[in-house]
Amino acid sequence: MKINLKHTFIEELPADSNTQNTRRQVKEACFSYVQPKPTKDPKLIHVSDKMASALGFSEADIKSQLFLDVFTGNKVFPNTKPYAMCYGGHQFGHWAGQLGDGRAINLFDIENKTQQWTLQLKGAGETPYSRQGDGLAVLRSSIREYLCSEAMYHLGVPTSRALSLALTGDEVLRDMLYDGNAAYEKGAIVTRVAPSFLRFGSYEIFAARQDFKTLKILVDYTIRHHYSHLGKPSKTTYTQFFEEVVQRTLEMIIHWQRVGFVHGVMNTDNMSILGLTIDYGPYGWLEGFDFGWTPNTTDLQNKRYRFGNQPNMVLWNLYQLANALYPLVESAEPFENSLETFKSDFERRSLEMMKSKIGLNMYDAKDELLIKSLEDCLLLSETDMTIFFRQLGNFKKGSASKGLDFVKDAFYSPQEISDSIAQQWRDWFERYDFRLEKETISDKERRLGMNAVNPKYVLRNYMAQMAIDEADKGNYKLIDELYQILKKPYAEQKNHEKWYAKRPDWARHKVGCSMLSCSS
């Protein structure tokens, strides 16, 4: 394996001087050296060919013993020093103190074609940050993270990536339903990849400890390596840095709302400083369009991270980051300006995004109202978000009275579409049809444009669960089938239409198909 190793993180940032793998508070350091735990019987289940080639791995590399050993934690790649990162975070609105990589171990960085990537094992054993956890991950959550991060990438959503999914051959004890019935499950490791895994919490921890020296070192490092176009670190660059994090995070959240992705645990330790979607835990995809939906059972009481609240939560998290960076600038105004801009930019970008989903390019003062009434209609009876928007692309100008025929497949209970509901829909289609007159493009051009923003295939919760159930029985074919389909989420893929379907009835209440809990 010929790889171009980089070691900027460990070379340029302060390390924990303690090299024992014991749980502790780690002060004035950005990371601790730690070795992955060897596994009993490692076996690769899947490798992302796209990610492998982006990293410069050849077919032969992927098939080699060294690849298997390194990406299951059984061998440390020559001349590298694995480490776990120190960070804190606000969890569900409260400062939680030190968290850190409790079950993630960074192996090394690779530079390929001018892009730097950090490769990280998730589930490779305990670290000084493991707290009460075992540092391990189970097969079901690993399949979910593996498939979803690659699917998000192909959807065009900024995200961390995944290189490989492997079984460890070890058993991991988990209480899946949190009901006191713990059981052994298959252990697994995902190799995650991102230009950096730094999070808002990476900065918050130093601010909370009033360790402004290390805070500055880390912010300067981040700018030098990940925001280098901003120039030499200074008070001005710090606020520009924040402004850019705001903009990138905004971009990410617009994409989430566009494709109906609900993260589930938007704590500040899960917010990437690069505006990437990171930490795929109890995430879910909207099936019925519903602003109030969250997949996370741990959050059912307040539904803090429900679909419709994700933009507010991003803003709340950005406030925490602003507070953490403030000591380096000592002036609140530039931060406040960026946060204010977020609000107006969000409204504008969200409207643009929703307009693109219904194929509108021109300006009309009433577009916001048109979209608001569409959302009202979508909430009248359970309506599949993905199918609705994709089907709407087939609408033909002048066929308002038949509008419902184009989208009827999206209704979960067609019998619920009473006369009055049908009438509201017809009214909406009349307005939509009238509005389309203002557009200059043909039906076909509009459909093509809409199909480029309204995916046909997303990783529905039940699809991931089916892949998990099969994998539990030792059959990994479905993982590959889903991986291949989700590489082209916007393409028609006529041979795979069975996955362009509403969630089946059996999946409505099945564990794993609709609700999940944190940190499994």
Cα–Cα distances (Å) from 113 to 56, 79, 276, 325, in that order, read 9, 21, 20, 32
Whether the Cβ atoms of residue 216 and residue 144 lie closer than 8 Å to each other: no
**Could you say whether residue 504 binds ligand AMP (CB under 6 A)?**
no
Whether the Cβ atoms of residue 517 and residue 298 lie closer than 8 Å to each other: yes
Nearest-CA neighbor of 188 among 128, 147, 155?
A: 147
# of chain residues touching Mg ion (CB under 5 A): 2
In angstroms and rounded to an integer, the radius of gyration of the C-alpha atoms of the chain is 24
Pick from 36, 88, 128, 135 the residue near ligand AMP by CB under 6 A: 135
Q: How far is the CB of 292 from ligand AMP (least distance, A)?
A: 22
Which H or E run includes 396? none
Q: Which of ligand AMP, Mg ion, none interacts with 145 (beta carbon under 5 to 8 A by kind)?
A: none
Q: How far apart are CA 152 and CA 149, in angstroms?
A: 5
Q: How many residues does the chain have?
A: 520
Q: How far apart are CA 162 and CA 48, in angstroms?
A: 7
Q: Which of Mg ion, ligand AMP, none interacts with 30 (beta carbon under 5 to 8 A by kind)?
A: none
Residues 245-284 that bind Mg ion (CB under 5 A): 270, 279
Q: How far is the CB of 405 from ligand AMP (least distance, A)?
A: 44
DSSP letter at 77? P
Q: How far is the CB of 449 from Mg ion (least distance, A)?
A: 36
**Could you say whether residue 297 binds ligand AMP (CB under 6 A)?**
no
Give me the residue whose beta carbon is nearest to ligand AMP. 133
Q: How far is the CB of 13 from ligand AMP (least distance, A)?
A: 18
Q: Which of Mg ion, ligand AMP, none interacts with 261 (beta carbon under 5 to 8 A by kind)?
A: none
Cα–Cα distances (Å) from 358 to 233, 269, 376, 435, in that order, read 43, 35, 15, 11
Cα–Cα distances (Å) from 398 to 423, 436, 440, in that order, read 17, 9, 14
Q: Which of ligand AMP, Mg ion, none interacts with 384 (beta carbon under 5 to 8 A by kind)?
A: none
**Could you say whether residue 74 binds Mg ion (CB under 5 A)?**
no
Q: Which is nearer to Mg ion, 220 or 279 (CB)?
A: 279
Catalytic residue among 220, 269, 290, 384: 269
Q: Which of Mg ion, ligand AMP, none interacts with 130 (beta carbon under 5 to 8 A by kind)?
A: ligand AMP
Please, how many CA atoms are within 13 Å of residue 75, restricted to the half-sphere of its CB? Answer: 11
Query: What is the full DSSP assignment across 123-149?
Result: SB---TT-TTS-SB-BHHHHHHHHHHH
Which H or E run includes 122? strand 115-122
**Could you say whether residue 73 binds ligand AMP (CB under 6 A)?**
no
Whether the Cβ atoms of residue 34 and residue 16 lie closer than 8 Å to each other: no
**Could you say whether residue 384 binds Mg ion (CB under 5 A)?**
no
Q: Which of Mg ion, ligand AMP, none interacts with 311 (beta carbon under 5 to 8 A by kind)?
A: none
Nearest-CA neighbor of 117 among 58, 191, 173?
A: 191
Q: Which of ligand AMP, Mg ion, none interacts with 470 (beta carbon under 5 to 8 A by kind)?
A: none
Is 269 tagged catalytic? Answer: yes
Q: Which is nearer to ligand AMP, 136 or 163 (CB)?
A: 136
Pick from 323, 356, 493, 519 the residue near ligand AMP by CB under 6 A: 519
At residue 439, φ and ψ (nearest 5 deg) are: -80, 155
Which H or E run includes 343? helix 333-357
Q: How far is the CB of 264 from Mg ion (least distance, A)?
A: 11
How crowded is residue 345: how many other Cβ atoms within 10 Å of its Cβ? 16
Q: How far is the CB of 324 from ligand AMP (least distance, A)?
A: 17
How crowded is residue 308: how many other Cβ atoms within 10 Å of its Cβ? 15
Q: Which of Mg ion, ligand AMP, none interacts with 518 (beta carbon under 5 to 8 A by kind)?
A: ligand AMP
Which residues, 6 or more positions from 267, have their beta carbon under 8 angstroms from its beta carbon? Answer: 89, 90, 91, 92, 96, 201
Q: Which is nearer to ligand AMP, 141 or 237 (CB)?
A: 141
Whether the Cβ atoms of residue 358 and residue 450 lie closer than 8 Å to each other: yes
φ/ψ bin of 79: left (φ > 0), alpha (ψ from -120 to 50), beta (otherwise): left
Q: How far is the CB of 102 from Mg ion (least distance, A)?
A: 8
Pick from 102, 288, 295, 489 the residue near ligand AMP by CB under 6 A: 102
How crowded is residue 499: how many other Cβ atoms within 10 Å of its Cβ? 16
Binding mask 260-289 for ligand AMP (x = CB under 6 A): -----x---xx--------x-x--------
Binding piece for ligand AMP, criterion CB under 6 A, among 96-104, 163-171, 435-443, 444-452 = 96-104
At residue 403, φ and ψ (nearest 5 deg) are: -50, -45
Pick from 62, 70, 99, 157 the residue near ligand AMP by CB under 6 A: 99
**Could you say whether residue 126 binds Mg ion (CB under 5 A)?**
no
**Could you say whether residue 124 binds ligand AMP (CB under 6 A)?**
no
Pick from 51, 62, 70, 136 the residue near ligand AMP by CB under 6 A: 136
Q: Which is nearer to ligand AMP, 305 or 411 (CB)?
A: 305
Q: How far is the CB of 257 from ligand AMP (least distance, A)?
A: 21
Active site residues: 269
**Residue ranges in contact with ligand AMP by CB under 6 A:** 99-103, 129-131, 133-136, 265, 269-270, 279, 281, 518-519
**Residue ranges in contact with Mg ion by CB under 5 A:** 270, 279
